Structure 1
């Protein structure tokens, strides 16, 4: 009977369109990343430092990918692009630390909203590092998106939170890591990327983590395990989302994170985002959706062969 139900589920899954499968993967990743943020915030409220949490995250992620490293053991450390690997790993590690620090100090919904600036930074970095042509519409959308950041942060206001810059540094670091992936040839192993990221993160976070180390209780150890497992699982679901569906269809489902973060923040941490956060988030989301749509349209235009004039 169990096998019958399993086969029925597999058939139902195969009947879904690639875009719908991608959307389901994205919503799973969204829930995972939001849960990960809640776990980090819970640990920070127990007075655990962001460096110790980041160290544990990298360590458990490394343990999770070791079977894949072993499978590719003969080639996993063979690369002609070590400089790009190191910069990418370092930017990702710093983004992780900044993100965990921001979550420990700010409401989950605020950090999530500021994290949506990643596509804005990606547009800027693609222009600077990849020499991509960015036309005036995308520049305008990027500028509008950063105006949304000002609405959330409100520099000069009494409610200004300097920790917001850590959340923006997180978004910038992720954008840089994503942009550098495009510098790799198609054959570069994703396992190599993950391995170098984990090792770099461990090396970077180990000294401050050991200096600030606090022996975790059994409950805290469980939360730390959860941060590592949920984090790596969410990353895997993101990959599956974009492998199954078109980016222009899949990406908007990521914005459900804001609603989830607002609900979890309110229920677990008594956080209630103000109207400025929702307004700024709406501006950022609208601008990034426009950028995703333009990139998708331009990608289709490049892949469509020119029509014959005969």
Structure 2
């Protein structure tokens, strides 16, 4: 009976279009990342240091990768550009620790909204690092997104929390890592990228983690393991989502994180977003959504045959 059920589910899954399968992977990844942030916030509220949480996250994530490393063989440990991988992994590891600190200090919905500034930083870094040409519409959308950040964090106001700047620094670190991924040679394995990230994160966090070490309770060990396995699992689901579906169709489903974060923040942490958080988050989401749509349209135009391109001046 169980085999029949699994066969039926597999058949139903295959009947879905690639875009809808990609969307479901993205929804699962968004839920995973949001729950992960809630776990980190819980651990932080109980006194565990961001470096300790980051060390455990990297260690348990690496443990989750071991079976895939064994199956892929020794070649998965070798990068075609080890120096670039190292810099990318260090940037991502530092961003992880900064994000863990920020999520422990900020309301969950506010932290999640600030993470949506990633496409804004990517636009800036694409100009600086890749010398890409950005047209005025994307510049306006980028400026509108950063205006949303100012509305949300209100620098100079009594309610300003410096942890918001740490959250933005975390996003900037992730954006640098994204840009460096684009510079990696074609064919670089995603498992190789995850291995480098875990090893770099362990190296970054191990010293500060043991300096600030607080021996976890059994429940905290369970949460730390969940943060590691859920973190790497959510990363894998994001990769699967973009591999299966079209980016322009799949990407908007990531915005479900904001709804989930608001619900979890209210139900578990008794957090109620204020007007400025909602207004700033709305502007950030609108600007990043517009940027994603423009990039999808430009990719479609560049991939179209010459005769078809001539119809779209």
Report what 1:68 is aligned to: 68
Whether 2:202 is the aligned partner of 1:202: answer yes
Deviation at 1:69, TM superposition (A): 2.1
Residues 1-310 of structure 1: pairs in structure 2 closer than 5 A? 1-307=1-307
Deviation of the 1:70 alpha carbon: 2.7
Give the distance between the partners of 2:5 and 2:65, measured in 1 at CA: 30
More moved, 80-89 vs 260-269: 80-89
The runs of 4+ residues in structure 1 deviating greater than 4 Å are none
Residues paired across the two proteins, number: 309
Tell me the CA shift for residue 83 of structure 1. Answer: 2.1
Rounded Cα–Cα distance in structure 2 between residues aligned with 1:244 and 1:190:
15
Q: Distance in 1 between matches of 2:65 and 2:181?
A: 19
CA distance in 2, matches of 1:243, 1:72: 19
Report deviation, 1:137.
0.9
Q: Matched residue of 1:155: which SS?
A: coil
Gaps of 5+ in 2: none
TM-superposed CA distance for 1:98, in Å, is 0.7
**Separation in structure 2 between the aligned mates of residue 202 and residue 113 of structure 1, nearest angstrom:** 27
Q: C-alpha deviations, 1:120-157, integer Å up to 9, x for none?
A: 10111111111222111111111110000000010111
**Residues of 2 paired with 1:161 and 1:186: CA distance?**
41
Rounded Cα–Cα distance in structure 1 between residues aligned with 2:74 and 2:223: 34
